């Protein structure tokens, strides 16, 4: 008989925490722009380009930087940095220039 047994968390087949997955799915539906990446120099350069493009286009988008790999994986992104606009991955795997980001944002 175990009196002080640790409460077992519900896990999926890949040992991910179910609550973390649910939170990641909830965040995917948020409006705005998200930069996905570990916070490396490339990710920071992409974030700077996105902020500049949004400012130059005078858009009213919130910009978040997501570094949690579980949340990044929930978008299906395997190569960072990536840009997500209103829940849709629009670019991944490279640092875009301000002009490239503007073109993407104008098309949305």
Alpha-carbon distance values, 11 to 14, 18, 19, 20, 25 (Å): 8, 6, 9, 10, 16
Write the pLDDT tens digit of every residue in 15-58: 556 666 666 666 666 789 999 999 899 999 999 999 999 999 99
40 in catalytic set: yes
**Residues 96 and 89: beta-carbon distance below 8 Å:** no
Whether 99 is covered by a domain: the verdict is yes
Average pLDDT of the segment spanning 76-85: 92
Scan for tokens 């700077």, then name that residue: 48
The answer to the question of residue 80 being in a domain is yes
How far is it, in rounded angstroms, from Cα 108 to Cα 106? Answer: 6
pLDDT at 70: 82
Compute the mean pLDDT over every residue in the chain, rounded to the nearest whole number.
84
Domains in the chain, number: 1
Among the listed residues 13, 14, 16, 43, the single catalytic one is: 43
- Residue 43: active-site member: yes
What is the CATH classification number for the domain harbouring 67? 3.40.30.10
- Residues 76, 68, 40, CA angle at the centre, nearest 5°? 95
């Amino acid at each position: 008989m175990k009196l002080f047994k640790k409460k077992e968390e519900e896990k999926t087949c890949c040992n991910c925490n179910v609550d973390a997955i649910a939170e990641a799915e909830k965040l995917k539906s948020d409006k705005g722009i998200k930069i996905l990446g570990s916070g490396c120099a490339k990710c920071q350069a992409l974030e700077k380009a996105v902020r500049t493009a949004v400012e130059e286009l005078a858009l009213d988008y919130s910009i978040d930087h997501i570094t949690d790999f579980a949340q990044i994986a929930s978008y299906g992104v395997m190569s960072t940095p990536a840009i997500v606009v209103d829940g849709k991955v629009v670019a991944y795997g490279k640092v875009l220039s301000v002009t490239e980001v503007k073109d993407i944002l104008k098309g949305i």
